[in-house]
């Protein structure tokens, strides 16, 4: 681990915050004016990273230079800052770190406070995007929307809100309406909005906010999609709305939830093609960008019949299970872990009731003070299933055990936490 990464990891990750002034001060200290940038701002509980990937990949295919800021990273911290879908080099990352660190010290010396973990990385990203002269910036919110550091952007080109569900309730609120209201904080006056509106409660909150701000909007829900067909490692479907008249799309993923994320992105891109002709988008480019986009850790096949999925809350698990059940044509195993602030009991109950798996391996995923002992998962699984459940203390031990019990024709899934997925990717990468 580099000195830069050690320092950044030492900054509190979940610092409390009630306004965006400190992030604005950091931008001033770095000489960055977000008003000079063409930004697509993306929020949501599940799927926002995938939406960012579809949009970024398509703009790159159109010949644009694109900066993308995402979180969390799975294996290496550089993943959070990307140029044309590639993580920035260590050299670029280190230079940005040094510049932001100096700015942070100046802020402290003048009576301000040191940027929080996410603010620091966001500052680095925006500095890199300015220095690299990107044409478009795709920004993924970290947590919520209204008070997220990325929400200092006053006039993005477009906002997109992916699926909204119950997560981070201790910060965002205890009802789906409260959480939707926080996500709605990225909606800006007159700025086009595309959102996933299957949940009527979420739809009502987002529509009311958009109408209040005179923001034109398009909604994606199940009525817009038809003729879903799985073709090996691709899913084909028809999209029908203002821009597409039952047009066939293909996504390079086994995950059914990517239908909705790609539909959001395709609609946003078609709108962008209309309002931003200089971006060079065409219908053909949009199809190519959607089909060829790859998003790590989302129903990703690491090795033959070994899949990782970043499902880490109830809705994420539900979407993951939909795909796992559809794939079940052989014996399936699940390696599971979660962090302590997730509703792991509900997640495990859903997993067991789905009957998608024949055997389970659980472990502890080490992540600062959010680790949950694996024996808690063992006890919880045994409340809901009579199928074999194995306990290993570490992700490495759990992966070893999973591979030992996996038959040659069996399928192994690894899910429950993005940090677990990242750890497994590190381990398998080391074995490659």
Considering the chain, tell me which residue range(s) the CATH 3.40.1190.10 domain(s) occupy: 3-292
Sign of CA dihedral 26, 28, 30, 32: positive
Check: CB of residue 171 under 8 Å from CB of residue 141: no
Distance CA 382, CA 280 (A): 55
**CA distances (Å), 145 to each of 47, 152, 154, 259, 261, in order?**
14, 10, 13, 23, 18
Q: Given this model, what pLDDT does residue 365 score?
A: 86
The encoded tokens of residue 330 equal: 């052989």
Q: Which numeric CATH code is attached to 3-292?
A: 3.40.1190.10
Check: CB of residue 204 under 8 Å from CB of residue 176: no
The CATH topology of domain 300-431 is 3.90.190
Considering the chain, tell me which residue range(s) the CATH 3.90.190.20 domain(s) occupy: 300-431
Mean pLDDT by 10 residues, the chain (432 residues): 90 64 94 96 94 98 98 94 97 98 93 92 98 98 90 97 74 80 96 97 97 98 96 93 97 94 98 95 97 92 94 89 95 95 91 98 80 92 98 96 97 94 89 54
Q: Given this model, what pLDDT does residue 82 score?
A: 98
């Amino acid at each position: 681990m580099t000195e830069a990464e050690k320092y950044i990891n030492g900054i509190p990750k979940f610092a409390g915050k009630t306004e965006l002034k400190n992030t604005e001060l950091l931008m001033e200290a770095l000489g960055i004016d977000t008003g000079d940038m063409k930004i697509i701002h993306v929020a949501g509980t599940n799927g926002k990273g995938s939406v960012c990937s579809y949009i970024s990949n398509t703009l790159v295919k159109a010949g644009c230079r694109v900066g993308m800021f995402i979180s969390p990273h799975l294996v290496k911290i550089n993943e959070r800052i990307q140029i044309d879908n590639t993580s920035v080099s260590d050299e670029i990352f280190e230079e940005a770190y040094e510049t932001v660190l100096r700015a942070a010290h100046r802020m402290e010396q003048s009576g301000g406070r040191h940027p929080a973990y996410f603010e620091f990385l966001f500052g680095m990203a925006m500095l890199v995007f300015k220095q690299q002269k990107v044409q478009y910036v795709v920004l993924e919110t970290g947590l919520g929307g209204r008070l997220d550091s990325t929400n200092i952007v006053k006039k993005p080109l477009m906002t997109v809100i992916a699926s909204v569900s119950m997560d981070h309730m201790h910060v965002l609120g205890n009802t789906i309406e409260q959480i939707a209201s926080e996500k709605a904080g990225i909606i800006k006056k007159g700025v086009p909005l595309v959102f996933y509106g299957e949940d009527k409660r979420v739809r009502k909150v987002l529509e009311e906010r958009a109408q209040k701000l005179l923001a034109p909007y398009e909604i994606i829900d199940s009525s817009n999609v038809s003729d879903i067909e799985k073709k090996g490692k691709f899913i084909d479907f028809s999209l029908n709305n203002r821009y597409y008249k039952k047009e066939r799309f293909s996504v390079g993923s086994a995950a059914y939830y990517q239908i909705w994320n790609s539909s959001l992105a395709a609609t946003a891109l078609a709108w962008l093609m209309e309002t931003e002709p200089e971006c060079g988008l065409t219908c053909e480019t949009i199809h190519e960008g959607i089909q060829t986009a790859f998003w790590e850790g989302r129903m990703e096949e690491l090795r033959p019949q070994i899949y990782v999925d970043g499902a880490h809350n109830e809705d994420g698990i539900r979407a993951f299970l939909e795909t796992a059940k559809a794939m079940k044509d052989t014996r399936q195993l699940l390696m599971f872990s979660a962090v302590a602030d997730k509703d792991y009991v509900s997640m495990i109950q859903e997993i067991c009731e789905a009957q998608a798996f024949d055997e389970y391996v659980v472990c502890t995923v080490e992540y600062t003070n959010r680790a949950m002992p694996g024996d808690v998962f063992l006890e919880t699984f045994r409340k809901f299933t009579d199928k074999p459940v194995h306990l290993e203390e570490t992700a490495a031990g759990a992966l070893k055990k999973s591979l030992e019990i996996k038959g040659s024709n069996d399928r192994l899934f690894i899910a429950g936490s993005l940090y677990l997925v990242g750890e497994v990717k590190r381990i398998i990468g080391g074995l490659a």
